[in-house]
A and B are shown apart, each in its own frame.
Chain A
């Protein structure tokens, strides 16, 4: 079915207004529709993933206008992977939210959630630079709504910072697009790629400005130092399940960098030579550093996980910034890992926060202490890149991908030391939260259940689902890595993409 590719955008875009219009006063109906829609999204995106895995690039011309004049959606290996990842994470988060009644704590959770999915999906699928901007706006405004879901002074204040900082980015996005359009006369990414490649020599200054401004925009989304400032407070103060969903949002930035700087401003493009990797690599290393420092110094669980999200982005961007096929393969594997791991850890953090509050300090053992402790342990293993979960494999892949780089020793050193500091930070937090509470009274069956245990099993289903994702990612690391390498191969051979969009589009 040729329309399948547009469904990840259209389905939530119908579902959300329907919920607003017809069933906004019926939480049970909202849950049913929202969940059914998300399950359908999982099925659709997995089908698309299977289609893309063959190596074909599908192009969908909206409004039946040929590229580059109309807008196109493009499904290649990378975008198929990203939308499938979005749907899977979305399903886990939604199950968690329903199980913990988070959706009752404010208005319009489900429509905003669906709009958020729509924005992310659209950003991954679109083949048009201006349309990418539109979807950035959709996901920004929806994420702002989700972020302040439930209200509270601290959350609202953090929300203002979030939205203001990201609006700065949006403004810059317009500047970048204006520059690119004024120089090249087009907005379609494939067309941009063709035109930039043959750009007259005296146009490079402006196209370079456009390219670098665009990179700044994406770097904000990807939380690259020194443009990451919006992240820690907003993620830490957002509802934790929403922060879990945001694990895919930073990936939108990473994805966009990967897409634009392999397709349009690729490493072989002369006019934008030396613009990207040269500063992105040090910035990524610093991002990893800042993230790990934050992990070690965190006083609250929310901050702890938020900073580990930053650290994880740092590692990912190290791999991306090398712009080699091998490192990109590693990056793509790492994207999957980082999304599941960060999402899972935020959910675990919510399990803890809802039982004993968010401060990293000893307290009385909470309900389901042991179970949550093991989940925290697993999440910490994943995020700090220890075996046997996929973080370790991802880390090895990134290091292996960096071995031909000039700064390999620096990269390895930073990654390994960061790993160590992360381990220390999580060990400290975990032992304070889960162990130290036993100091006053040795474990004694019966008196442990000081807080009433929440009854729903759904939250745990969600967390275990994500953990299962991490485990499968390790067990089937071979096939997944093959897919990632094939994806990188596709990215570094942009002629295929360009040909599909501009010449083979039907």
Chain B
């Protein structure tokens, strides 16, 4: 079967259990089992070729640009691990079917399990280190889900997060390491990398790469000091512990060390880091395991210890040690998985895993006892079981390891560790099963049905068979796998036997077994001492670190984003000024090459008014009304300045915008306190003053510098001046630019206006729909109200002015193309004409007489502009292409028509509608019932006359 299929089957099949759970738990489990079985059979079809020494490959280019390709290869090492993952996976699926209770969502469980399985298979088959990284992180993620499977258990959640954090961080470190390796070699393909030992080890980046990759391996394989997550991951359901935390995931780190062994191993750095870490982990794990009362914790620490053993063997860097490591990987998988399953069985029926509450189970659970006996003896390294064989190989290898010149240090520590592992293995047998039968078990211990015992029995069968016939059963596999680890092309000789004669390793074994037995007898007396001894509690430290970092980042983040707009703006100012100053200072600037104008009296007066008004705004800004008036002064002077500098269009626009804005602001001021409260401290005022003066100087300086020089190259405005009449049909270049040359900008800007208006409308609706409306209705005016809100004089004047104002608007509109004016200004003037009616007679009166809704005016304006633009499509020309001509209609003189005028009409309508809608929306805030009379003005002599007349008649 293709390697692609093998690797992807678990992923593809992961959907089935989740779906089929509706058809029952058996269907769900069976589908998971079938998927795994299919993949396993697929793997086995490739086995003969691999055992012959071939390497099966499958390649697809995925991202050749990055070097991330879906390349898989299957060699001995891959076959060994893939076989373990799929084979044990099958047993776990069977076991879990009977282990999980009816309440557990089993479909989810199998889905997660298959995802995990796929990720693991992916790791061991990857021929591309980037691909491998993907699968690597996937195992972290899927194991997060599996460990946290029992959502209601806090330990499960915490354990899941801890495992994710530790293994995930290792994985991220490994990304760095792998990318470095890829950069050194120039390829991310493993088979290529594995051929470049000298290149990699000679690189100055070898050590960082090694450290980063080992960080990934050590975290995954729970090596000291990253071992602490593994015991906490035991909160997972037992099938998960058996699968992930004994047989597969924790071996991923070992796998990777083995995989990279040909290029990374053999240096001093490798030996001292890997072998030492392994040794320390082995001893430490074994010691802690002995004093754990929770069965799963005991097994967890024993796993830590055994993983340390294998790491140490890989760290030795010798071929024999590597072979022993491979062999022990198989053996450990068989006995440890069986032990976890048996722990689950005990937990299931006795309802406790606490060794202190167990004992004497041999009478109640003879079958389980047999399983545990065989597996635990193998773990202790007692012949004739398989654990004995590999442990003896290990001890023999330690003898030849020299650590910093001391030849026996490693061996002695190894024996010390082995001694403890014998002790905890015996403890599992002795303290749980032997002794007197108790009467106070929380549950009713009994042997389980075949669903639960089949899998562990099969594994213990393997323990025995491998122990008795190692060479026949696993010999070829170990040989090809070790060959792949060593990777020098030489055939590996593997020959294990139970009896080697009286060699040092045997004596070491004997010491370990006897010593371990003695140690067990003393365990109950040592335990209180151990418990009393001070030692760092990893979880407490970890929680404190993570919690501390979380609250630190929360404090930092919330202090940084405290919501004070003035501070945000201050930072913006400082940053912008600094960057601009830097940019200016690092460039070169020529002297001003433009002649200065002579200083005449008019600009001086204007300048004095402008600065005077600005200073006054600063001085009197607390009085908002006054500030508004002063701002109006500033605006008017700017309009005058435009006029003085021969920009009548700008001046007209500025004046009309000024009028409308001030009216809108006055309306808004109606609802606001008339004075700005004093909130800033002196320091803050100083800061703000400095900043604003800096900003002013910066802006002023920039403008001064810009005005002092001519364009460095001819400006595009020359073109506009030349083509305005011939190409745009108008002599007012400003207007032609607005409606023709850059009509698209204008189109955008009228849309901005329109949006602004409907946003104001939407806010008004939102606010008036909330409880603010009540406050508005009941508000007390904070200033004296006018006795006569709608005075006669004003009403009459505005009525008279309305047609005149509209005429002016029309005039301004039509002359726009050739003289100052245009749709924008005309729209503002028309708006002012209508606004005056609102001001004179009130909102309600005016609204009653409104026939066209402002929404419609805005919409029609934008639409007319857009449709005018689209009209040119019919002539095959681009959007907004204008067209013009001259016609004579008797009795009028010849006059010009231009599509641009239609576009300008759109502008006119959009501006009119936008201003009016904004104004109307704001006016609605002010509305109170009974505020307006039904009459256009309060005092009307004619009405009074009529009333008097009626009274007289009456």
Residues of A within 8 A of B (CB): 2-3, 6, 10, 13-14, 16-22, 24, 60-65, 68-71, 106-108, 111-112, 115, 118, 122, 130-131, 134-135, 137-138, 141-142, 144-145, 148-152, 156, 160-161, 164-165, 168, 172, 175, 178-179, 181-188, 191, 195, 199-209, 211-213, 215-216, 220, 226-227, 229-230, 232-233, 271, 274-275, 279, 290, 292-294, 296-299, 307, 329, 370, 377, 381, 386-388, 392-393, 396-397, 399-400, 403, 412-413, 416-417, 419-421, 423-424, 427-428, 431, 434-436, 438-439, 441-444, 477-478, 481-482, 485
Q: Are A184 and B176 in contact (CB under 8 A)?
A: no
Q: Verify A135–B878 contact, CB threshold 8 A.
A: no
| Between-chain CB contacts (< 8 Å), 23 pairs | A3-B873, A6-B878, A17-B862, A20-B859, A21-B859, A70-B742, A106-B762, A108-B761, A151-B767, A179-B702, A186-B715, A186-B716, A191-B716, A204-B589, A205-B705, A206-B709, A297-B555, A393-B66, A403-B183, A416-B172, A424-B161, A431-B160, A436-B151
> Of B137, B563, B587, B872, which is within 8 A of A392 by CB?
B137
Would B575 and A216 count as touching, CB distance under 8 A?
Answer: yes
B856 part of interface (Cβ distance < 8 Å): yes
Q: Are the C-beta atoms of B569 and A64 separated by less than 8 Å? A: no
Q: A271–B870 Cα gap in the complex (Å)?
A: 41
Report yes or no: B881 in contact with A148, Cβ–Cβ below 8 A: no
- Please state if B761 and A229 are interface contacts (CB–CB under 8 Å): no
User: Which residue from chain A places its CB closest to the CB of B158 in the assembled complex?
Assistant: A431
- Which one of B140, B144, B553, B770 contacts A293 once the chains associate, using CB atoms below 8 Å? B553
| Chain A residues, CB < 8 A from B575 | 216, 226-227
Known: A63-B878, A141-B755, A150-B766. A203 touches B712 (CB 8 A): yes
On whether A439 and B154 interact (CB within 8 A), knowing A65-B741, A141-B759, the answer reads yes
For residue B816, which residues in chain A have a CB less than 8 angstroms away from its CB? Answer: none
- The closest CB in chain A to the CB of B560 belongs to A290
Told that A203-B590, A439-B154 touch, could you supply 9 new A-B pairs with CB distance under 8 A? Answer: A21-B856, A24-B855, A112-B759, A168-B572, A184-B713, A188-B716, A290-B560, A297-B555, A423-B164
Separation in Å of the B365 CB from the closest CB of chain A?
A: 27
Bound-state CA distance A418–B727 (Å) is 58
Residues of B within 8 A of A69 (CB): 716, 719-720, 723, 741
Complex: A2 Cα to B856 Cα, angstroms: 32
Indicate if B561 sits at the interface (CB-CB under 8 A).
Answer: yes
Q: Smallest CB–CB gap between B331 and chain A, Å?
A: 32
Contact B855 A165 (CB under 8 A): no
Q: Does B858 contact A (CB under 8 A)?
A: yes
Chain A residue numbers with a CB within 8 Å of B870 are 10
A21-B855, A397-B66 are known contacts. Are A185 and B569 too (CB-CB below 8 A)? no
What mask results when residues 137 to 162 of chain B are scored 1 for a CB within 8 Å of chain A, else 0?
A: 11011001100100110100100110
Knowing A14-B863, A478-B62, the reply to whether A145 touches B759 (Cβ < 8 A) is yes
The verdict on B729 contacting chain A, using a C-beta distance below 8 Å, is no
Contact partner, B751, options A115, A393, A477, Cβ 8 Å: A115
The answer for the CA separation of A68 and B165 in the assembled complex, in Å, is 56
Tell me, in angstroms, the Cα distance from A111 to B713 when the chains sit together.
43
Q: Is the CB of B590 within 8 A of A209?
A: no
B99 interface residue per 8 A CB criterion: no
Contact for A271 among B168, B561, B587, CB less than 8 A = B587
Given contacts A134-B749, A212-B580, contact A386 B65 (CB under 8 A): no
Could you give, for residues 863-884 of chain B, a 1 whenever the CB lies within 8 Å of some chain A CB and a 0 otherwise? 1001101101100011111100
Interfacial chain B residues near A293, Cβ < 8 Å: 553, 556-557
Q: Which of B551-599 contact A (CB under 8 A)?
A: 551, 553-558, 560-561, 563, 565, 568-569, 571-572, 575-576, 579-580, 582-590
Given A108, A138, A477, A485, which contacts B748 in the complex, CB threshold below 8 Å?
Answer: A138
B residues at A contact (CB < 8 Å): 61-68, 103, 105, 108, 130, 133-135, 137-138, 140-141, 144-145, 148, 151-152, 154, 157, 160-161, 164-165, 168-169, 172-173, 175-176, 179, 183, 546, 549-551, 553-558, 560-561, 563, 565, 568-569, 571-572, 575-576, 579-580, 582-590, 699, 702-703, 705-707, 709, 711-717, 719-720, 723, 727, 740-745, 747-749, 751-752, 754-756, 758-759, 761-763, 765-767, 769-770, 855-856, 858-863, 866-867, 869-870, 872-873, 877-882
Q: Are B179 and A399 in contact (CB under 8 A)?
A: yes
- CB-defined contacts of B879 to chain A, threshold 8 Å: 3, 6, 10, 60, 62-63
Inter-chain contact A71/B175, CB cutoff 8 Å: no
- On chain B, the residues within 8 Å of A233 by CB distance are 561, 563
Q: Are B151 and A144 in contact (CB under 8 A)?
A: no
Q: Is the interface of B mostly helix, strand, loop or mixed?
A: helix
Tell me whether A412 and B154 are in contact (CB under 8 A): no
Beta-carbon contact of A392 and B134 below 8 Å? yes
Select A130's contact among B144, B550, B563, B745, beta carbons within 8 Å: B745
Contact between A443 and B576 (Cβ–Cβ < 8 Å)? Answer: no
CB distance from A425 to the nearest CB of B (A): 8
Determine if A17 and B103 form an interchain contact, defined as CB atoms under 8 angstroms apart: no
Given A17-B862, A63-B880, answer yes or no on A205-B751 (Cβ-Cβ < 8 Å): no
Cα separation A165 to B575 with both chains bound (whole Å): 14
B749 contacts which chain A residues (CB < 8 A)? 134, 137
CB distance from B13 to the nearest CB of A (A): 16
Tell whether, in the assembled complex, residue B557 and residue A14 are in contact, meaning their CB atoms are under 8 Å apart: no
Bound complex: CA of A290 vs CA of B313, how far in Å? 43
The 6 closest A-B pairs by CB, nearest first: A21-B859, A151-B766, A297-B554, A202-B590, A185-B715, A205-B587
Contact: B742 with A71, CB < 8 Å?
A: yes
Q: Establish whether residues A481 and B751, one from each chain, have CB atoms under 8 Å apart when the complex forms.
A: no
Q: Is the CB of A294 within 8 A of B561?
A: yes
- Are A419 and B583 CB-contacts (below 8 A) given A142-B755, A232-B561, A427-B161? no
A106 to B572, Cβ gap below 8 A?
Answer: no
Bound CA span A172–B61, Å? 47
| Shortest Cβ gap from B362 to chain A (Å) | 33
B137: chain A residues within 8 A (beta carbon):
386-387, 392
In the bound complex, CA of A207 to CA of B856 (Å)? 45
User: Is the beta-carbon distance between A199 and B712 smaller than 8 angstroms?
Assistant: yes
B103 to chain A, nearest CB (A): 7
B residues in contact with A2, CB < 8 Å: 878
Contact check, A63 vs B565: say whether CB atoms are below 8 A apart: no
Q: How far is the CA of A448 from the CA of B362 in the complex (A)?
A: 43
CA of A208 to CA of B580 in the docked complex: distance in angstroms?
A: 8
B157 touches A435 (CB 8 A): yes
Q: Which A residue's beta carbon lies closest to that of B759?
A: A145
Given contacts A145-B762, A229-B561, A478-B61, contact A161 B568 (CB under 8 A): yes
Given contacts A118-B751, A179-B706, contact A216 B579 (CB under 8 A): yes
Known: A63-B878, A175-B699, A420-B169. A17 touches B550 (CB 8 A): no
CB distance from A307 to the nearest CB of B (A): 7
Our pick among A10, A144, A152 for the contact of B869 (Cβ within 8 Å) is A10
Considering the chains assembled together, what is the distance between the CA atoms of A209 and B583 in angstroms? 5
**Residue on B nearest A213 in the bound complex, by CB:** B580
Check A60/B62 contact, CB under 8 A, given A10-B866, A13-B747.
Answer: no
Closest CB in chain B relative to A156 CB, distance in Å: 7
Cα separation A419 to B172 with both chains bound (whole Å): 8
Given the interface pairs A137-B752, A204-B588, the reply to whether A185 lies near B716 with Cβ below 8 Å is yes
How far does the alpha carbon of A403 sit from the alpha carbon of B185 in the complex, in Å? 14
Contacts of A203 in B (CB 8 A): 588-590, 709, 712
Given A13-B862, A137-B748, A427-B161, A212-B878 contact (CB < 8 Å): no
Q: Which of A3, A68, A399, A420 contacts B716 (CB 8 A)?
A: A68
* C-alpha spacing A424/B706, complex, angstroms: 52
Known: A151-B763, A205-B587, A412-B176. A443 touches B152 (CB 8 A): yes
A183/B62 in contact, CB under 8 A: no
Residue of A nearest to B870 (CB): A10
The CA of A104 and the CA of B769, in the complex, are separated in Å by: 13
Interface pair B63/A156, CB less than 8 Å apart: no
Q: Residue on B with the closest CB to A203?
A: B712
Least CB distance, A260 to chain B, in whole angstroms? 15
CA distance A19 to B759 in the complex (A): 14
